[in-house]
Amino acid sequence: MADRDRGILFVISGPSGAGKGTVRKEVFRHLDGLSFSISCTTRAPRPGERDGVDYRFIPRESFLKKVESGDFLEWAEVHGNLYGTLWSDVNENLEIGKDVVLEIDVQGALQVMDKCDDLVSIFLCPPSTEELERRLRARGSEDEDTIALRLKNALGEMAEIDKYDHVVINDDLNRAVEEMERIVALYRNRDKGDLA
């Protein structure tokens, strides 16, 4: 039987440029009871990003101290920067019955799959490599070398797709958001069903 007092852990993953952030923000606009786990990162904020909202921007030294103290459920080096999810962030919300959404890279998602029995993993997939490249360029925030590195990493990440519970193809934003919402509803209803 599902633990009805505890929230559900959803992990949204997939290559950068797949549109994880955009899809996740839309899902949050539509659904209540979800909590976004704000990752720590050593990368510099992009224009418009806010500390404590988009990320917790911290120096590399503080990040590594947290690694040593075992504060992270998962962490990874992504495109030369460190990113991590705090155990405290996830557990505090799950314990009060909130469903928690992690939006993380594939290396991190695989660590969470190893450590947590109970999670719902969703791979958000770009429609094609050409489209992924177009989206990475459209951001305008990365130089050519960074774009090339992100594309190379994306191909490696796509190889892990079979390990996920669900795959959502982001060929159309509204459709991808609806599919993501159906997945959330499916597990929420399943938990309710377990109570019968």
Please identify which residue in 8, 34, 63, 83 interacts with ligand 5GP, judged by CB under 6 A: 83
Please identify which residue in 8, 27, 94, 104 interacts with ligand 5GP, judged by CB under 6 A: 104
Using CB under 6 A as the binding rule, whether residue 89 contacts ligand 5GP is answered as no
> Which C-beta is closer to ligand 5GP: that of 132 or that of 184?
132
What is the rounded CA–CA span in Å between residue 173 and residue 135? 13
CB 32, min distance to ligand 5GP, A:
23
Using CB under 6 A as the binding rule, whether residue 99 contacts ligand 5GP is answered as no
CB 191, min distance to ligand 5GP, A:
25
CB 27, min distance to ligand 5GP, A:
15
Please list the residues that pair with 72 across neighbouring strands: 86
> Between helices 144-158 and 129-139, what is the axis angle to 10°?
140
Contacts (Cβ under 8 Å, ≥6 apart) of 182: none
Please identify which residue in 8, 10, 19, 20 interacts with ligand 5GP, judged by CB under 6 A: 20
Please list every residue from 154 through 183 that binds ligand 5GP, using CB under 6 A: none
Contacts (Cβ under 8 Å, ≥6 apart) of 28: 34, 36, 101
In the block, which residue shows the tokens 């796509």? Answer: 158
Q: What is each CA distance from 124 to 81, 84, 179, in whole angstroms?
A: 21, 19, 11
Using CB under 6 A as the binding rule, whether residue 93 contacts ligand 5GP is answered as no
Please list every residue from 22 through 61 that binds ligand 5GP, using CB under 6 A: 39, 43
Q: Are 124 and 33 in contact (CB under 8 A)?
A: no
**Which tokens is 87 given?**
């155990």
Using CB under 6 A as the binding rule, whether residue 105 contacts ligand 5GP is answered as yes
Question: Which residues would be at the binding site for ligand 5GP (CB under 6 A)?
Answer: 16, 20, 39, 43, 74, 76, 78, 83-85, 103-105, 107-108
